[in-house]
């Protein structure tokens, strides 16, 4: 790991100021992703601004919803009684990710800002436009089994690795940030970006801005939700495809549908047309298949035996199964991994 300055911040203003005071500054909270990247020399910060002592670790009632402090750990959020009863989709998504040790350390803000787990991004011996802009993408034409099928560009096919963010996208959370130019709110759908021709930029945060909270809107979906995660082993692995589904039902018809996918794009993937397609339709397999077909119609895959073409059918089936689980009010268990 490279040598860096260390600053312990006592207030948000102090953190923002310390960040601006050196080249290559990084905020550090849980450190579970940043320290890992530093050990691989992917990240070489000139200065680490330790924000763990800022008063941002609380979970509070706000406008009928909840405000999650940016330093609330993933475990703290997942096991919060209010989150479990009102936003079980979020609790289940968090508990589907990482390990207990990592969730105990990782913060809410850090979860949003974690980097892709693309093998080539981690391997400094290979070209990667995200790590070294302009050097090329090794995943395109390489081993691309875990890579994106939606919203890719000719420069990057990496995925965002978070489970928590997939649920936050479906719940339409709002990210609160503070920076050199003051405070602002970013709707979750606008927080992460697609790679385009600048895959080195994961989010719409401006330089020096810090995430201070994530707001969950008042809207809840009762028992009609699921977080269904499909991966190479049953626990402690990133998603090949995951589905966060939440439904409002009117009798046996769908009133509102929220559907977000993980493991398939540079950001949690939502398709508003597919959600609208479900409005007013009977909550049946046929309706769900039509919505799934609409989502996967946009897929663009990487070919060959090391490619990701299998993800299209996997996503289609996961969407249908996820919507069925949500409609039935039988969300995927986080400990019994059999898929019903």
Partner 1 sequence: MLIESGSPVAADTRVGISLTINGQRRDLQVAPWTTLLDLLREHLDLTGTKKGCDHGQCGACTVLVNGTRVNSCLALAVMKDGAEITTVEGLAALSGEGRNSLHPIQEAFIEHDAFQCGYCTPGQLCSSVGLMNEGHAKSRDEIREAMSGNICRCGAYTNIVDAIEDVMGQGGGR
Binding footprint of partner 1 on the chain (CB under 8 A): 1-10, 14, 17-18, 21-22, 28, 30-32, 35-36, 39, 47-48, 50, 52-53, 75, 79, 98-102, 104-105, 235-236, 334-336
Question: Min. distance of Cβ 182 from partner 1 in angstroms?
Answer: 20
Kindly provide the b/e burial profile for residues 195-214, where b requires at least 16 CB atoms within 10 angstroms of the residue's own CB.
Answer: beeebeebbebeebbbbbbb
Backbone angles phi, psi at 31, to 5 degrees: 80, 0
Question: Min. distance of Cβ 8 from partner 1 in angstroms?
Answer: 5
284: CB partners within 8 A, 6+ apart: none
Residue 66, CA distances (Å) to 43, 162, 169, 260 in order: 33, 20, 15, 20
Nearer to partner 1, 33 or 159 (CB): 33
Question: Min. distance of Cβ 231 from partner 1 in angstroms?
Answer: 12
Among 49, 39, 51, 50, residue whose Cα is nearest residue 2: 39
Q: Helices in 96-220 by DSSP H: which ranges?
A: 100-105, 108-113, 119-122, 164-170, 188-191
Nearer to partner 1, 194 or 334 (CB): 334
Nearer to partner 1, 164 or 173 (CB): 164
Question: Min. distance of Cβ 27 from partner 1 in angstroms?
Answer: 12
Question: Min. distance of Cβ 76 from partner 1 in angstroms?
Answer: 10
Q: How many residues does the chain have?
A: 340
Question: Min. distance of Cβ 171 from partner 1 in angstroms?
Answer: 22
Nearer to partner 1, 33 or 271 (CB): 33
Which pair of structure tokens corresponds to residue 240?
A: 């090949």
Cβ-based burial of 171 (10 A; exposed 0-12, middle 13-18, buried ≥19)? buried
Nearer to partner 1, 45 or 142 (CB): 45
Q: Helices in the chain by DSSP H: which ranges?
A: 12-20, 34-39, 74-78, 81-86, 88-95, 100-105, 108-113, 119-122, 164-170, 188-191, 272-278, 285-296, 310-328
Nearer to partner 1, 236 or 310 (CB): 236
Nearer to partner 1, 14 or 293 (CB): 14
Question: Min. distance of Cβ 15 from partner 1 in angstroms?
Answer: 9
């Amino acid at each position: 790991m490279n040598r860096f300055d260390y600053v312990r911040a006592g207030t948000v203003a102090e953190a923002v100021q310390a960040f601006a005071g050196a080249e290559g500054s990084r905020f550090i909270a849980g450190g579970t992703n940043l320290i890992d990247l530093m050990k691989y020399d992917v990240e070489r910060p000139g200065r680490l601004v330790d924000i763990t002592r800022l008063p941002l670790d609380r979970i509070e009632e706000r406008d009928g919803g909840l405000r999650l402090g940016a330093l609330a750990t993933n475990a703290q959020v997942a096991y919060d009684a209010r989150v479990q009863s009102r936003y079980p989709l979020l609790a289940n998504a968090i508990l589907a990710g990482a390990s207990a040790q990592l969730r105990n350390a990782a913060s809410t803000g850090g979860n949003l800002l974690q980097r892709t787990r693309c093998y080539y991004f981690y391997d400094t011996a290979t070209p990667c436009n995200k790590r070294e802009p302009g050097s090329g993408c090794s995943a395109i034409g390489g081993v691309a089994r875990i890579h994106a099928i939606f919203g890719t560009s000719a420069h990057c096919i990496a995925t965002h690795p978070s489970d928590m963010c997939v649920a936050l996208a479906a719940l339409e959370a709002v990210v609160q940030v503070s920076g050199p130019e003051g405070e602002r709110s970013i709707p979750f759908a606008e927080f992460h970006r697609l790679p385009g021709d600048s895959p080195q930029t994961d989010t719409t945060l401006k330089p020096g801005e810090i995430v201070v909270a994530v707001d969950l809107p008042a809207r809840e979906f009762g028992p009609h939700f699921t977080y269904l995660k499909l991966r190479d082993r049953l626990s402690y692995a990133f998603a090949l495809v995951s589905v966060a589904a939440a439904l409002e039902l009117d009798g046996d018809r769908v009133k509102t549908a929220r559907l977000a996918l993980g493991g398939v794009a540079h950001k949690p993937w939502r398709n508003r047309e597919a959600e609208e397609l479900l409005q007013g339709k009977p909550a049946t397999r046929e309706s769900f298949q039509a919505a799934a077909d609409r989502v996967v119609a946009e897929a663009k895959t990487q070919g060959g035996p090391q490619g990701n073409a299998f993800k299209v059918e996997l996503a289609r089936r996961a969407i249908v199964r996820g919507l069925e689980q949500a409609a039935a009010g039988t969300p995927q268990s986080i400990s019994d991994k059999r898929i019903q």
